[in-house]
Amino acid sequence: MYQTSIDDFLEIEEFQQDLISWFLRVQRELPWRQNPTPYQVWVSEIMLQQTRVDTVIPYYDRFMQKYPNPEALAAAEEEDVLKTWEGLGYYSRARNLQTAVREVVSEYNGKVPDNAKELGQLKGVGPYTKGAILSIAYQQPEPAVDGNVMRVISRIRKVEEDIAKPKARKIIEGIVSDMISAEDPSSFNQGLMELGALICKPKNPLCDECPVQAHCRAYKEDLQEMLPIKSRKKSQRTEKYVALLIRDENHRILVQKRPEKGLLANLWQFPMIPMDKANTTDELVQWFGDQYGITIDVHKHLTDIKHVFSHIIWNLDVYSATSTGGCLQEGKGEFLSAEELQQLPFPVSHQKIARLI
């Protein structure tokens, strides 16, 4: 159904020319587009996963200044890398990137692999990032199918598969493989993504300005608003916590490092107590003493924080407190000065608490 016949070759060649010439004319000037090294392409593609261009730009500039090459990133402390990534989200991207870069330095003499097999085995490099590096950095005709490309191709070729399902990506990859330019796969792939970002938008696509309107089956049948078809994911669960800003007699503040797996792995936070463990202040003090080994005085309510993740909603009820006795149990955190806190990576929700200090 989506297969390309010999009769389509001419049509595809016109599509390639229309897309590429448009891209070369209107493309945005982005920091990772100025004669990029494979490492620069790699870093930018990881940062751009599920993240808008405008959000990434300042992070990319700072990251490249601190870690200009694989050797610099490989040698860095993980905590410093996370601090540089702070606020960008999906923190496993940063940890996987460093793991993979260390492998490139030790196994490939610091040269980013230029083949699908080795690239695909690197941590955090999936089908999209692999294709992006091969096409953009090495000019190989490999598909790089992201959310933009799924939407653009599903409209151009009237693909009615549910793009929320893994099967759809395989179909789109097959279509792109048949259409991609052998002369300039970099501009072809980037052109598809640029088209999705600037013209072929999810809502109210600007079909009047589209360089490949003549090739679009959805436009021909006035289906552009109906495609792509995407099933909606279920809504988030809500989790309620009390978060505590606890000071000791030296005005240092209790913080703890989160576990190395799961949500916000290896980031730092202020102590959080699940609301169902402590309905009253007395229960809260009791529970905290049991878990942490120290006695606290809970003072005033500081603020409420609502934080939305992709799959959870946090409601944080923030109180100030002082520690009045006892001995902090091993591994339950440490009291640090305000200056020391600034060196540590915190999730955005807890940065809002830190601002209250």
Partner DNA sequence: AAACCGGGGTC
Partner DNA sequence: GACCCAGGTTT
Inter-residue contact 136 to 184 (CB < 8 Å): no
Q: Which is nearer to DNA, 98 or 349 (CB)?
A: 349
Inter-residue contact 72 to 37 (CB < 8 Å): no
Distance from C-alpha of 231 to C-alpha of 205, rounded to nearest angstrom = 20
Q: Tell me the closest approach of the beta carbon of residue 155 to DNA, in angstroms.
A: 12
Which residue out of 11, 29, 45, 118 is catalytically annotated?
45
Q: Tell me the closest approach of the beta carbon of residue 352 to DNA, in angstroms.
A: 9
Give the torsion sign (CA, 293, 294, 297, 301).
Answer: negative
Catalytic, 45? Answer: yes
Peptide bond into 36 cis (omega under 30): no
Q: Tell me the closest approach of the beta carbon of residue 156 to DNA, in angstroms.
A: 14
For residue 3, give the 3-state DSSP assignment. coil
Q: Tell me the closest approach of the beta carbon of residue 162 to DNA, in angstroms.
A: 9
The one-letter amino acid code at 193 reads: M
Q: Which is nearer to DNA, 134 or 246 (CB)?
A: 134
Interface residues with DNA (CB under 7 A) are 30, 33, 44-45, 48-55, 87-92, 96, 123-130, 132, 146-148, 151, 165-167, 190, 193-194, 196-197, 202-204, 230, 232-235, 262-265, 307-312, 347-349
Residue with tokens 């830190």: 354
Inter-residue contact 157 to 151 (CB < 8 Å): no
Q: Which is nearer to DNA, 281 or 351 (CB)?
A: 351
What b/e readout covers 91-120, taking b as 16+ CB neighbours within 10 angstroms?
Answer: bebbbbbbebbbbbbeeeeeebbeeeebbe
Q: Which is nearer to DNA, 56 or 273 (CB)?
A: 56
**Which residues are tagged catalytic?**
45
